[in-house]
Amino acid sequence: MGETEDLQMKLYHATDRAKIASVMENGLNPRSCLTSNYGQALYYAETIEDEGCDSTIIELDLDALVARVGDESLLPDHPSLSEPITTSLTLTEEEVHEAWEACDGTWRDSLEIVNSIICTVRIPAELLSCSEYDVLPKPGTA
In-domain check, residue 142: no
Whichever domain contains 47, its CATH number is: 3.20.170.30
31 located within any domain: yes
Residue 121 lies in a domain: yes
In a domain, 35, yes or no: yes
Question: Which residues is 14 bridged to in the sheet?
Answer: 57
Burial 47-58 (b: 16+ CB within 10 A, else e): ebeeeeeebbbb
Residue 106, pLDDT above cutoff 80: yes
Query: Which pLDDT belongs to residue 2?
Result: 45
Burial grade of 123 (CB within 10 A; 0-12, 13-18, 19 or more): buried
Q: Is residue 107 a part of any domain in this protein?
A: no
pLDDT score of 134: 53
Give how many domains the chain has, as a whole number.
1
Tell me which residue range forms the domain holding 48.
10-77+115-134
Share of the chain above pLDDT 70, in %: 88
Helix (H, G, I), strand (E, B) or coil at 61: strand
**pTM higher than the cut 0.85:** yes
Sign, Cα dihedral of 59, 54, 90, 105: positive
Asked if the structure places residue 82 within a domain, the reply is: no
Q: In this predicted model, what pLDDT tens digit does every residue of 27-83 receive, in sequence order?
A: 999 999 999 999 999 999 999 999 999 999 999 999 999 999 999 999 999 999 999
Query: What phi and psi values does residue 141 have, to the nearest 5 degrees?
Result: -125, 165
Residue 104 lies in a domain: no
In the chain, which ranges are E strands?
10-16, 32-35, 55-61, 74-76, 116-119
Cβ atoms 79, 32 nearer than 8 A: no
